[in-house]
Amino acid sequence: MFFSDSAKAEKGIAALIEGCGGDAEDASSTVGTWIVSGDWVVAAETREVAQQVVDDAAEKSLADDAEFQRWTGAAGDAGILSFYAAKAAAEYFDDVADLGKEFTGLGGPDELGADIDSAEVTDAIKDFEGMAVTVRFSDGALEMETATSINKDQQDLVASSVGAELVASLPEDTVAAFGVGVNEGWVEQVAEQIVASEGGDLTLEDFYQEGSDATGLDLPGDVEKLLGEGVAVALGSGIDAEAFVNGGVLDLPLGVKIKGDVEDIEGVLAKLEPQLGPEDAALLESASADGYVAIGPDATLVERVAGAD
């Protein structure tokens, strides 16, 4: 952690540790310990570990590492928060997952809905090359940019530019948004991965049939039609936190914008509506404009999301 005033940082961190029930002077404190080196505060489990980090960085810092430069450079300009994971971090992913299970109370694969030791997860860990995340302020907004390795299967699923195009087309007062573009055939690829992860007698045809029975859709075709070339989820301004807590999603200014064949998308929505109750059907207010369809619980916002330049 970098601080512009080390003396104030020492006092502040000491107060924080003591506030958490620890002893700022005790190297065996249950909340860890820290040392100050120049303008940096290094926190670790023990002072010995913290000092080792300082000594190693003085000899050769991460800034000299080619892979660090590669991923942080790909994540764009510096910001208020940076995260970096080297290729070597992959060997600890299983430990992190186990820690997450302990923290959440989810004890095993059955409760998580997927096996952390599945071949797909193992291959993904093996193919991991590194990643970096930067969070920064940009034009009055909080922006997060991520760069990471992506395997061939993932490249076949995701279209590189459509997600950004959709987000850029949202109303200017959008508070937060997420967009992704997809390539033709993506539904079948995802379905094949799900069926393979089950490791049982479930076939791809059985999977599609179960999904069709549950939704009233013709799988996989209707799902591809529904999400078209890509989709963006937008959170508009004027969020009423109290209404959301007491009501739910229907009280959020949410809009989903899809790029695709308008007739196809609206046809799939017409199939979905009878499967929903009156209250849930209100989520499917829709509007279309210039090759886009917008969906959401607020008809006024949906119109704006569909037609924004």
**What is the helix, strand, coil percentage profile of the chain, to 5?**
50, 20, 30
Which amino acid type is present at position 81? L
Instruction: Give the pLDDT band of residue 168 (cuts 50, 70, 90).
Output: confident
As beta bridge partners, residue 181 has 159, 230
Which ranges constitute the DSSP H helices of 199-309?
204-215, 221-227, 241-246, 262-272, 278-281, 299-307
Round to whole Å and give the CA distance between 296 and 309. 18
**Is the confidence at residue 251, as pLDDT, over 80?**
no
What is the reported pTM?
A: 0.62
Token digits of residue 81 = 């928060």
Which pLDDT tens digit goes with each residue over 49-98? 888 888 888 888 888 889 999 988 888 888 888 889 888 887 776 655 55
How far is it, in rounded angstroms, from Cα 305 to Cα 172? 10
Strand partners, 287: 294
pLDDT tens per residue across span 113-167? 444 445 555 555 667 888 899 998 877 777 788 887 765 555 555 656 788 889 8
Measured between alpha carbons, how far is 61 from 65 in angstroms, rounded to an integer?
A: 7
Question: Which tens digit of pLDDT belongs to each residue from 274-293?
Answer: 877 776 777 788 899 889 99
**Tokens 């093996």, located at residue:** 126
